[in-house]
Amino acid sequence: MHAPHPPVTDAVDKSDAGPDAKPAARARMRSTGSLGRRMIGVAAAWILMLLVGGGVALDRVISQAITTNFDDGIEYLLVAMIRASDVGPDGRVRLLEPLGEQRFVEPYSGLYWQINGTGQEPLTSRSLWDRSLELGPPHSDEDVHVRDSPEFEGEPLRIAERDVMLPNSPIIWRFQVAQKREQLDNQLQLVRKTIVRSFAILALGLIILAALQTIYGLWPLRRIRAGIAALRQGDRTLLNESMPVEVRPMVEELGELIAHNERQAEEARRHAGNLAHALKTPLTVIMNAATARAEDLPELVVRESATMRRQVDHHLARARAVGRRGQTQLRADAWASIEAVERAVGRLYPECRFDADGPRDIIVRIERQDLDEILGNLMENAAKYGGGSVFVTVSQADGAVIFLIEDDGSGIAEKDRQRLFDRGARLDTGKPGTGLGLAIVRDVAEIYGGSVSLEESEDLGGLAVRLILPAAL
């Protein structure tokens, strides 16, 4: 029993892509960008975001500290001026002692004071000369209030003011001390320039560090790429360099893939050699008979052609199974395959009775066509060499599917069972065949990780073939 094979010409058309197939395949691969640039870009963006946020926060803290220190100096002079003030007999405010600050007596020195009272002429420092300070908004308390004022053109001021009631006076006096912001602004500008420069250098250094770390971290991938290129060019046969722990599993899997491909290529070369050797003898027989103009040439051609056909079927089955065994999505319904093979074999041996038993939901991890090929060979042999009854049992245990094909024939001696798996071995030469059926079953089953063995049937008394294949998850 043989399942139909796809046309040979289709396989040739799909595989014969020409010498430019590999460059064309590489050209069709779409790049998603550089992994190194992506990592450096993410690191740079994160570094810049953190440094900008930290720089802004640091600028606010330092600026607030500098401004507070500047205001404390103005407030100190304001408090000293209030303590030195008194109201004279004429009701006007006066300073009992001069303030210990030389800039108060230097015109336009940038440090000024002024005292205002309702209905009174303001009392000003000599440094104001012909100018006076504007009064700010009214206050409902006696706390010190600090504000910025642009009232002097080209000379922004920082003013501290406080409303005070002096002894022996019902008037609320407003004391003001003003200092130009030039010193404060210079300090703030220097601090901000220092922060920007420092953080810019820090950002550049961190980005360079991230780039070096990325290049060093991805360097094993460059070594892997160089190793694969050497493999492709034939300069080496293995990837055996020492790799980091994170990369080593990938290298090991890649090595296993390369070894797998090497095994498949070796199997393909071996199968091609075996097929050529198997076809050489029949072709030689046909050529010799044709050259000698043998009388039985037609019968000989038919017989030898059948032999060559079975050889081709055998090697095609192996090649197909080798190409499919790495596919994890392979699934075949065991019961559906049994019923299909039973119908096909039943047409060849209508006098034979077929029975089957087992769960109906068992799935095998194998290509359906290969499962049909295996069961077809085993059930056809059971029908051909049995006594008229074939019983098939299917079960599942420990991740494996077990097929037991039994017949009621005369069985096979234990010493001859293993010899039947040899290519071309036959015990009954009175029936047609080439002796390749069990060899095909064994080879295909082993390719899928299974096994096949011959036993004695306990129920029917004939031969029992135990086939074990992996179950689909």
Q: Which of 289, 324, 359 is the last residue of a domain?
A: 324
The pLDDT of residue 31 is 67
Residues ≥6 apart with Cβ < 8 Å to 36:
214, 215, 218
Question: Which domain covers residue 91, as residue numbers?
Answer: 84-180
Q: How confident is the model at residue 114 (pLDDT cuts 50, 70, 90)?
A: very high
| 366 and 265 part of one domain | no
Residue 36 domain flag: no
Kindly give the pairing relationship between strand 353-357 and strand 389-397: parallel
Q: What is the pLDDT of residues 269-296, one digit of tens each?
A: 776 766 776 677 778 878 888 888 888 8
| C-alpha separations of 221 from 23, 217, 249, 290, 332 in Å | 21, 9, 13, 62, 39
| 131 and 246 part of one domain | no
Mean pLDDT of 433-445: 68
| 289 and 406 part of one domain | no
Kindly state the DSSP code that residue 471 receives in the 8-state scheme: B
Mean pLDDT of 380-386: 89
Q: What is the pLDDT of residues 306-340, one digit of tens each?
A: 777 766 776 676 666 665 555 556 889 999 999 99
Contact (CB, 8 A) for 281 and 303: no
| 374 and 430 part of one domain | yes
Residue 1 domain flag: no
The pLDDT of residue 18 is 45
Most confident of 87-96, 186-195, 250-259: 186-195
Token pair belonging to 245 = 């722990």
- In whole angstroms, what is the distance from residue 388 CA to residue 350 CA? 10
| 251 and 348 part of one domain | no
Residue 65 domain flag: no
Q: Is the whole model's pTM more than 0.75, yes or no?
A: no
Q: How many domains does the chain have?
A: 3
Q: How confident is the model at residue 458 (pLDDT cuts 50, 70, 90)?
A: confident
Q: What is the pLDDT of residues 3-29, one digit of tens each?
A: 444 433 333 344 444 444 445 445 456
Contact (CB, 8 A) for 366 and 332: yes
Element of type H or E holding 148:
strand 145-149
| 295 and 351 part of one domain | no
Q: Pick the range with the lowest mean pLDDT from 259-273, 284-298, 374-388.
A: 259-273
| 153 and 273 part of one domain | no
Residue 92 domain flag: yes
The pLDDT of residue 274 is 66
Residue 224 domain flag: no
Residue 131 domain flag: yes
Asked whether the predicted pLDDT for residue 421 surpasses 90, the reply is no
The CATH code of the domain that includes 337 is 3.30.565.10
Percent of the chain with pLDDT over 70: 83
Residue 254 domain flag: yes
